[in-house]
Structure 1
């Protein structure tokens, strides 16, 4: 599946429903002819078609929104309940005299009662215990068990961030990546946005997804199954996908991480992972960034890297709209994101990294209040 494809109609399901509807109408016609009632042929076809539509409606409204575990529990519960009822009916028939006309009616009544009771108890019990009880039946499981590593569910922010591609290229993940249709659609909406910055971020996310697909050892899957309420938000459906697939959610969204932790979903925050790694920009490094707005501090300008990282540049307030080559003085990484402080190069920068290191130690202390503000306001 290509990541930029539009969602398509489920042709096999629609074909199956059409065949079922026509078969039901044909069955009505067959029964009318079998009863030798020519006048009932069309009414019988109409009744058969209406019953088929009713069954299709129930399928779309109830069964289509149920998980495979729930449907399997109901089906096997009915089967086990029916078999248990037949066993008890056989025992009851051996314990009494049901040979006469009255006895047969009594036995039929007992049969109906036992069948009804056990066909209720079977699904009811399995629905309550489907997470603990597993039947060894070919191709059917009440609880998904993956023989390999847990799948990694990517959200929109992780793809726009882009570091997931570098981590996958470094063989840090040996599990398949799951990219849901909702994430691809959200990236496409952002890429088609009228705002230039959002458009750049959306296109970056799509490019990162394509690069991830092109890695020879990375497995990227696009699951067709929809988990959770289709009308729910993207984040909620990602959480339900991670639950259903017993996987891990990868994000840089701090709020989404907290929700996952509350609900017991395994989550990997790339910003937290970056804290244990070397900072991408070290004091003394030179980076190119465009000044897009004035900063909160005096004479500060603010720009952003391609991955959304905020860069605060000293003495750049009046250089809005210009692309500058600046010297990094310090870089701060937190669970909310990363922030880089830089300045315009001076003539003495040719002395080497020693000068930059000395300035970085002093600048970091002076910029601590700004870093605290960035932790709450910077979005990666």
Structure 2
């Protein structure tokens, strides 16, 4: 539809140019000798020029349209890589530079009028000064963006009352992936206030959650609905800015690749517990906050020789072993604990093993010989 509108618009442009060209040609000596005004040849010549140029523009318009779309796509891809804050600052610097340039050139322009040569010099000088100060404005604002952020933060702090729980300052956006939303622990982490906003939820992640929630598999459906419930609680209970990002990448199929692209555009960090996404992000230089790594980091430190009181709940893989769990889910393997399954016993820690899946504690019965 848009291409058809552009094509007819270019055709109308061709018709207008045809009329303008016919008037110019009629005024020339070569055509004026054969065509005089207000006769049939005059109107026929104008009609031929209009139809000819209109037809040329109609035929060539698809090539013009493809070229325009190609240039637009290149510019859009280039702009997408630039953070939004930088674009806003660049436009602000451009406006300030042009204002200063015109304030400087206005007094000089008064003395460069009244003469053709002086007017040409004044116009050229005004053009050069505008270009120089516009470039300087953009360059200075981008190089001084950190200081400008601090100025804006200062004005915001003293210009209006800060809302409860609102974070003052500039922080990287945090982008949630599907796995961390379904996991649910992100809600408790956000409630503690250890993470700063804004929190971004991509529309394609929301769509994936809806698809999982509509699955015919009972387990997948339950996980999808849990994820949607967690999102609802995040929007209602978290004092940080939570935003649904409607940006999509039609040329990218995988959700993980879209997340990485979105993170690069917004200069943010991905919050996930997906091992594969974590590794791919590291290769591409995208910062990741892994929930599993955080959980392992905050688990209580246990050292060999420490005594513990635990409830053995099942047999271990090896002969004679019993297995217990701490409140945070850490597995404890007790040598000789098989016969105490279902009982609460005192054990002594013998060693601690850190694995990719988490921490494992090995212990023996306290009163064992």
The TM-score by the shorter chain falls in which range? 0.5 to 0.7
Matches within 5 A, 1:6-85: 18=3, 21=6, 24-25=9-10, 28-29=13-14, 31-32=16-17, 35=20, 37-38=49-50, 39-44=52-57, 53-66=66-79, 67=82, 68-85=84-101
Which deviations, in whole Å up to 9, do the C-alpha atoms of 1:275-306 show, x marking residues without a partner? 54689xx931637xxxxxxxxxxxx9xxxxxx
State the aligned residue count: 292
Alignment check: 8 A CA contact 1:283 1:329 kept: yes
Kindly state the Cα deviation for residue 124 of structure 1 after the two structures are TM-superposed.
Answer: 3.1
- Give the equivalent residue in structure 2 for 1:286: 313
TM-score (norm 2): 0.54
Alignment check: 8 A CA contact 2:313 2:341 kept: no
**Residue among 100, 103, 106 paired with 1:87:** 103
Which deviations, in whole Å up to 9, do the C-alpha atoms of 1:253-282 show, x marking residues without a partner? 68949x89xx89694745434654689xx9
**Residue among 312, 318, 321 paired with 1:314:** 318
> How far, CA to CA, are the matches of 1:19 and 1:72 in structure 2?
34
2:107 maps to 1:100: no
> How far, CA to CA, are the matches of 1:86 and 1:348 in structure 2?
88
Matches within 5 A, 1:291-306: none
Q: 1:240 to 1:331 in 2, by over 3 A?
A: farther
Structure with max Cα Rg: 2
Alignment check: 8 A CA contact 1:153 1:249 kept: yes
- Give the equivalent residue in structure 1 for 2:324: 329
SS of equivalent to 2:310: coil
Mind listing any 5+ residue stretches in structure 1 that lack a counterpart? 1-14, 137-145, 192-198, 288-299, 301-311, 317-325
> How far, CA to CA, are the matches of 1:238 and 1:341 in structure 2?
43
Mind listing any 5+ residue stretches in structure 2 that lack a counterpart? 23-48, 153-161, 302-308, 360-369
> How far, CA to CA, are the matches of 1:73 and 1:19 in structure 2?
37
2:277 maps to 1:250: no
TM-score (norm 1): 0.53
> How far, CA to CA, are the matches of 1:44 and 1:378 in structure 2?
68
